[in-house]
Structures are given as structure tokens and as C-alpha cells.
Structure 1
């Protein structure tokens, strides 16, 4: 048997043969993929900011994940993260993208086609999700992003592997010669700068568009034909939660990862379905209709017992009674099906709730100003007494009078309740849980609500003792929450307090706790506090 000669391995400090391709270290290769993905995301965001902000690649993918997520996951996210659920989701998508991009960077020198295909795939995924949630035109930002990412990756790889030079005698295996290293780092830095400029440009364009939209609203709102009466002085208790919620503090729960920014000059509202006279209204035509102004408290079905997803404000809008009169609703209609410009969101409202005399409206203003983008500009629905997911559609574009048999709304498809009357609920705001009740102001206080029924009584129990009836603040109306207070005269130390409310129909909120899914949380709010 003949043995083949063994070829000795070159010493670690042996020079590379002239013309050999020198590969950067792992960190540099991974960083190449990350920078290429950054260029893709930045360019995609910039293009989307100029065309359609929701079509930005990260936003499109994140929105698709929201749609695909099971209801328990959505409920858990809202409960755990509150208003931070969407930023956390975007961060998670971005982190997954960075990891994937780093892997592609590691492959770029040895399997270039695989790396290029991976970057291109990211663009295609963004395009597909954008088209699914919008239309064919929404694919454009992601397609441009994919092309930009591929170009960035190839630029860096080719710059570091072209015109190879012999490495210095001290170079270790798989390292770059000094001239190539400098060129590689310069190219990588330039590419990273492009990514930052593109992403920053998208942010700047978005803010300019927002500023322009705000400037266009400077004309203000029409005077209501039916103004709201002043709130009674006694609705607000000293030191308590503001009875009228500041606009910036209003709770917000929706499926939008990016706030829709709509130019009212090109907006219109279509009202059709089972009606005698379909109607399309421009923003100016809507503003020209008779307006009512009303103080109304809104509540989200995702509000946990004692939660903060409840807010109160003064709304201005066209009453639904005027809409019903104009279009002529046909027999058989049992729901008002509303469409939002927010990524295909829909809601179904019982026809009875907009035709029984309550102050249901198509709102255009809040607290004397046009709706902010985050509150549903240019127009949204407000229906007192119903949870928002069945009644208060923001960024309204169409209202269809139809039947439940023909249309199923966004949340109903995800197994939430079809009807959503607001439950009788109450909350302790003072003292905060685990806080100290001062000796000079030993007052337990909070709010209770049962919109469109009103609050008749609030009771507080300390340490499983007898229920004590609290003092109610002045009643602002059945569509508003109501503040209450109780002086505590018990001993010092650690205590437990519970609260329950009774609405004007005589129904008292139950003790048994339920989850928010599928029709709202039930149970008594409980805190612990220390009395001085």
C-alpha cells in the first residue's frame, strides 16, 4: 500500500499567497449583515414616509403579527405592557431582524448568494405583508428596501475582497491586510451612515407631515347647535383624578403600530348599505352639518379591574339622528358596521344604540379642538354606554347599515363578544395601593362608572368589615363617571380596602373576578394601605 505524502500546514505567521481572498473576523462579518439590514430598514422607512407610513417594512410586519397573534396573547400584552405594547413589539421585530441579518453577514463571504437571497427575502416578506394589509402600491417601500439592502451588502463584501494584496508577515489566518482593513472599515462606516441618514430622514419627513397636518387644522371647529351645559362645580373632588381627562392623557388602545395621519382635504366618509339614500361627505360637508357637544366617558373592554383605560372628555360631532334622517335606514338593519383607515379595522354597533335617543355621534372634536391624530382625526364614532371595540371606531372612512348575518367585525372574528355594553365598575384612586393614608387627610376616594345608566351608590369595605356608603360627588350625567369619597376613622396600621358600585338600575357589580376576554372584567377593586 502506497501512502500519500502529508502536506505540512502553514505556520500561523506564514504570509498568505498573493491573490488570496482575506475574510474579516466574525464580528466584522456579522456587523456587515446588520449594517446592510439597517440600510434596508432606513431606506424603506424613508420611502414609506413619503408614500404610505403604514407600509414601512417594520410596521407592516409588526402589524401582520398583531393580526396573527391569538387573542390570549394580545390580552396578555395589553395587561402587562399597557400603552408600551406596540413599541415592545416593534423592538422585538427589530431584534429578530438584527439576529437574522448578523447570520447573513457571517455567510456573505463564503455563501454570497445565500446572503443576498436572505436580504432580498426580507424585502419580499415586508412587501407581502404590506400588500396584505393595504394594496399593491404598499409593496413599493419594502421592495426598494430589499434592493438597497442587497446593494449595501454587496458593496461592503466586494470592497473588502477586491484587489487583494499579500498580507504582512505578522497577519494571522483569515485576517485583512492593513490597506484592506481600512478600506473595509471605511466602506462599512459609510454604509452605516447611509442607514442612519435614511432612517432619520424618514423620521423628519413624518414630523414635517404631522406639523403640516396640524397647521391645516388651524381653522378650528364650528359652533355646536346644541352646546354642552357647564359641568356642575361639585363633580370634581379635591386632590382626585381629573374629572375631564387631559387630551394627552386619554387612554389609547388600537391595532395601529403607526398613528394614521390623514389629510382631511382628500378624506371623505361614505355612508351606505341598507339605506334609501347612500351618502358621501367630505370633511367640510361634515363640518357644515348640525353639531352637538356632549361630555362622555369612554371605557375600553381591555380595562382590568381598577385599571386606567377609562377617560372623560367633551366631544363635538354630528348626531347619528341627523345621519339616520338623511340616509333613510331600511327594515331589517340590526347593526352599524364601521370601517377604519387603520389597517382594515372594523367594528359592529347595534342599530338600537344609535337610534334610541342617546348622544351617539360622528365626532370631529375633543375639548374644543379638532381631534388629534391619535384620537381619530378627521372623524370617529362615539356611542355612550358601549365599550370602544364595538362603538368608537377611529379614523372613520365608511359606515354601512347592514346585518350581523352579513358582516363580522375585527374583534368578533377573534372571539370577543358581539355586543359590548359597559359594565358597572369602580376604582380606588386614593390612596394608591401600598401607599400611606395621611393622618391629616384620612380619605379613601375614587371613581365609578356605568355609562348610560349612571351611578346610584358606592360602598367601601375595610378589612372585611361592614360595607360603608361613600359620599358621591355631584352627578355630571348618566354618560359620565362619578367621583366618590369616604373618611376613614379606623386604627393605624396596614389595612385592606374594597369598593363596589351600584348603578341607577339597582344592579351592583359582582364580587367574582373575570378576565377582560370576551366582554369585560368584573370584580371588586381591592388595595392595601397603611394608615398613620
Structure 2
């Protein structure tokens, strides 16, 4: 190593005496080649690809072994569980049924941003990037361990995720460092080869991550045929109560109302599950316990051996705003829940049936409603002539006519504890919603749509109304603030279902506004008082503006 010339000087050590001293300076590194540094763009890409590989590996292993062990989805579940009430309500109001995709996309953006910053911080040494990957891996591992359905096997997916993330980061970082330009040196053929290898490797990691994540997600959704055999078994089971035939006059689809029965693919979905549980019917069981005379555990075969009932029921979400679309109707097949509770013997003082789901969700349902004769509460196993869709609770869910779903309609139900409201709080009760939530008398205008432009002449106004389990006796419509006019009601099928209506008006060209109100069979009139969904359902009259040309 070249050194600067030695500098000689003298230091006085006494009167008239000097002592020569030689000093050698530190090596001059100015002439040495500078250490290679990865360009910022490539450094950021290395960080993003490493984290993407980690997420994909975790998703793939989870899909193969245990969908509940996906670290990415477990973190999302933790966000849902731990989010403050105001944030949950903001997300529901802002994004509606798209809140889950928005949450997962937002997580992806944040994680990618952290990964890019970690890569940029690792332009010379992989240490900062490795630290971030390890921190994210530990976060995913912790989220999985705190999942309600955690088992030791679930640790495998987040562990593999962490190892893959670190390994890919070190590998790509080494390739990127080797391919980086060295200031003052000419580009050599070997440098070109290294860069080509880096490009190919980065592309391979990206493709493998996308494919692995996609396959893992597909496997995690239960891609196997879980429902087909169950549909056949339901069709062959003993049916002791058949749903009434749905007459053509039960709906006015030609006037703009929905069909009376909602196709399964169009049925609204509201729940907290980021992953749809995929539980085989033969692996399902329900434990009924707590304040009962005889605790009991039921299998799916036990349900099929009992008398099955078939009932049309309209379900609506408490988050549904006035005029909203979070309402659907289906014919459900299942076992009468009241009969089951009478068999196990509910003890005096038990006022809450605390149900839990395979994904850890929980809520409380009033026992007096479940035991009410004629209420029709069910453990449903079928929907519109087939097994329950996975996203609607397969293999078994609760259906309780007349109550909003957040206190009654537990999907993927696996536990039912008879207890008291003083002893336990349901998921949404802990977040500011009501303890008891009977469905309110409501109506909705489906036609004309808001801000529609219609030809002059006679205009048909049509919609739906509901007041389970009482039923609808009357719907009135007012055009431009004028007198209320009775609408024509469709044929009633059941008090547990919605009822269609329509009315006609002669309207002149210009802007118009129409509103509706319903009256239940017990005389309760839909209130004009406007209220938000929190804590027990929205109220008010729907009002639609449109124009006539």
C-alpha cells in the first residue's frame, strides 16, 4: 500500500539539544477504489422482492397446512380486532363491503414502502434490510400465535416466511452488490454478466412470489369440493317443514325490484373474516354448554339425522344505511334451534346464547328470542337448494329472523354457550353497538335510481319493505312532498321476509323527489327521524331525486 513520504522534525529535549522524530501518516485511501454501492432503485427493489418472497412463502405454506397460519392475513385480523371503534366505523362508511380488500391493499402498500426503505438503507451492507425483514417476520409470527384458532403447527408458515425473506434478501443483495458500478473502473464483460444474472434472478423471485402467493391464497380458500357431497346429502335428508312456494306475484322485477330470492352469488356478505374458513363437514362439531341441564356436542351427521326445516328468511345488516343494499333473502334449510335448546334444557337465569365461530368471532343472542314459539331460529346447513356457500358460513351457521346479524347470524358456528349478558360481551357490543337489536321497520326505493333521467309521462316507483318477523301491511309513497299515496303490495310470502311494492305517478318535466314509508303488520310506522346505524340500526325515510325530460 503506498504511503506518503516520511516527515522528519526535531523536538527540543533540553538546553541546546534536539531529538529527531519521524512520523508516518495513516495510509492514503484517496487513491484506492471506492467500495461498491447498490443504486437506489435496485436497492429498493431488492428489499421489496425479499419481503414479497417472505409473504408468498408464508401464504403458500399456510395454504398447504393451515389457512389460519398465514402471517399476512393474521396481521390483518389483528388490525381488525385491535382497531378503535371510530376507525372501524370510518372504514365501513368510506369503503362499505370493500373494506377488507382496502385493508389488505393498504397493508401491502405500507409493507412495500418499509421494504423499499430497508433496501435503500442497505446499499452497502444487508444489515438494515435483514433487521426489517426479521422485525416483520416476528410481527407475523406474533399475530399468528394470537389467532383464536392457533395450534403449534401454525408456527411453521411464519417461520418459513421469515427464513425465506432473510435468505432472498442476502442472495439478491450479494448479486446487486457484485453488479454495482465501481467508480473509476471501466465496465468489464464480467460486470455485464453479473447484471444480467441480477435481472434474471430478480424476475424469477418476482414471478415465484406471485405464483406462490396466488396458489397459497387459492388453497386457503378451500379450493377442494367441500360442498358438492353435502348438497347431495341435504337433498336426500328428511324434510319435515317445506318452504312455501314463491309466487310470481311476490316481486316486481319488471318495475325495478329485486327478485324475491337472492341468488347465492349476489347475497350480501358482511363479516370480519379476512380469510373464508374452509372446514369440511365431517370435521365440524358444535358444543352446546354452559347453563344447560345436559351439555351436548353435535356433529354434522347428527344434524342430518334430525328433522330438517326449510324457511325463507330476509337477512339485513345493522350497518345498512337508509336505502342501502345490505339486505338479501334466501330459503335456508337446517335444524330448528329452539328444539335443540329445549332438549339440552336451558337453566333459569340464562339470558344469552353466546355463539363462537371457527375464526374466533363471537356474539350474544337473547335466549328469549331463540325460545320464542314460531320465531324460527335455525342452525342452517343449506341455502337456496344447495349447501351453504363457504363465504356464508359453510358448513353451519345461525339464522334468527327478526334480529340484525351482528347479534344472531354467526357463520361457521362451532360453540353455543348459555350464559348471561352480564357475564360476557359480544364482539360488536364491545365496540359500542347494542346488546339487543331487533330489525326496524324500513323501506327502500329501487326505482327510479338516484339522479336518473326519465322520459315524461307516467313514472313507476318501486321498492322493498321489511319488518321481520311481523311483516309489512302497508307502504306509502310521496312525490315532491305531496300527499302520501298507498303503493300496491306484492303477495306476502312470510313475515320473516321482505315485501315488494310499486306505485305510479304522472310527473311533468323537471326535477323531482320521491320518498317512501312502511307500516308493519303490528301498526308500527317507519319513523322519519334520521339516525345513523350505530348503535342499533339506521332510521329515516328514503328519498330519491330524479329528473324527467
Picking from 402, 418, 421, the partner of 1:404 is: 421
In the alignment of these two chains, the number of paired residues is 519
Report the Cα offset of residue 460 of structure 1. 1.1
Where does 1:172-251 land on structure 2 (aligned, <5 Å)?
A: 177-206=191-220, 209-221=222-234, 222-239=237-254, 240-251=257-268
Alignment partners' CA distance in 1, 2:214 and 2:532: 41
- Structure 1 contact 75–302 (Cα < 8 Å) conserved: no
SS in 1 for 2:354: strand
Cα distance in 2 for residues equivalent to 1:166 and 1:193: 30
Asked which structure has the greater CA Rg, the reply is 2
Partners of 2:173 and 2:488 in 1: CA distance: 74
Match of 1:527 in 2: 544
For 2:155 and 2:454, how far apart are their aligned partners in 1? Answer: 57
Q: Structure 1 residues 238-247 or 31-40, which shifts more?
A: 238-247
Tell me if the contact between 1:58 and 1:94 (Cα under 8 Å) persists in the aligned partners. Answer: no
1:229 is displaced (CA, Å) by: 1.8
Contact 1:220/1:369 (<8 A) preserved: no
Q: Deviation digits for residues 325-378 of structure 1, max 9, x if unmatched?
A: 320111111011101112x11111101111111111101101111101011001
Q: 118, 123, 142: which one pairs with 2:132?
A: 118
Alignment correspondent of 1:261: 278
SS of residue in 1 equivalent to 2:127: helix
* Change in CA separation of 1:512 and 1:9 when aligned onto 2, cut-off 3 Å: farther
**Is contact 1:458-1:501 (8 Å) kept?**
yes
Superposition CA RMSD, Å: 2.5
Partner of 2:3: none
Aligned residue in 1 for 2:102: 88
* Residue 295 of structure 2 is aligned to residue 278 of structure 1: yes
Query: How far apart, CA to CA, are the structure 2 residues paired with 1:161 and 1:474?
Result: 75
Q: Report deviation, 1:136.
A: 4.6
Q: How many Å separate the matches in 2 of 1:446 and 1:488?
A: 15
CA distance change for structure 1 residues 353 and 54 in 2, over 3 Å: closer, same or farther?
A: same
Q: Give the alignment partner of residue 380 of structure 1, picking from 397, 417, 434.
A: 397
CA contact (8 A) 2:126 2:169 kept: no
Mapped contact 2:270–2:317 kept (Cα < 8 A)? yes
SS in 1 for 2:318: coil
Aligned to 1:420: 437
Equivalent-residue separation in structure 2 for 1:250 and 1:278 (angstroms): 34
Segments of 4+ moved more than 6 angstroms: 7-10, 163-168
| Partner SS, residue 314 of structure 2 | strand
Query: Structure 1 residue aligned with 2:469, among 437, 452, 456?
Result: 452
Measured after TM superposition, the shift of residue 201 of structure 1 is: 3.0
Using the TM superposition, name which of 296-305 and 325-334 deviates more: 325-334
Q: Which has the larger displacement, 190-199 or 313-322? A: 190-199
Query: What is the SS of the residue equivalent to 1:75?
Result: helix
Partner Cα separation in structure 2 for residue 8 and residue 491 of structure 1:
92
**Alignment partner, residue 46 of structure 1:** 60
CA distance in 2, matches of 1:260, 1:202: 14
Report the Cα offset of residue 107 of structure 1.
1.9
Pair 1:349 & 2:349 matched: no
- With over 3 angstroms needed to count, the CA separation of the structure-2 counterparts of 1:132 and 1:416, relative to structure 1, is same
- By how many angstroms is 1:500 displaced? 1.0
- Contact 1:127-1:140 at 8 Å conserved across structures: no
TM-score, with length taken from structure 2: 0.89
After superposition, the C-alpha distances for 1:157-188 in whole angstroms (9 at most, x for unaligned) are 2234469997774569xxx9434323332332
Say which SS state the counterpart of residue 489 (structure 1) adopts. strand
Residue pair 2:445, 2:461 contacting (<8 A) in 1 also: yes
SS of the residue 1:210 aligns to: coil
1:301 equivalent among 318, 330, 333: 318
CA distance in 1, matches of 2:130, 2:172: 12
Q: CA deviation at 1:54?
A: 2.9
- Could you tell me how far apart the structure 1 residues matched to 2:92 and 2:258 are? 22
Q: Secondary structure at the match of 2:298?
A: strand
Matches within 5 A, 1:45-84: 45-84=59-98
Match of 2:460 among 435, 439, 443: 443
In structure 1, the residue matched to 2:341 is 324
- 1:416 offset after TM fit, Å? 0.6
Unmatched segments (≥5 aa) in structure 2: 1-8, 10-23
2-structure distance, mates of 1:169, 1:231 = 83
Q: 1:312 to 1:148 in 2, by over 3 A?
A: same
CA displacement at 1:462 relative to structure 2: 1.3
For 1:152 and 1:256, locate their aligned partners in 2 and report how far apart those are by CA, in whole Å.
31
Q: Within 5 A, what are the aligned runs for 1:452-491?
A: 452-491=469-508
Measured after TM superposition, the shift of residue 204 of structure 1 is 4.5
Matches of 2:540 and 2:29, distance apart in 1: 75
1:108–1:169 Cα change, 3 Å: closer
Gap runs ≥5 in structure 1: none
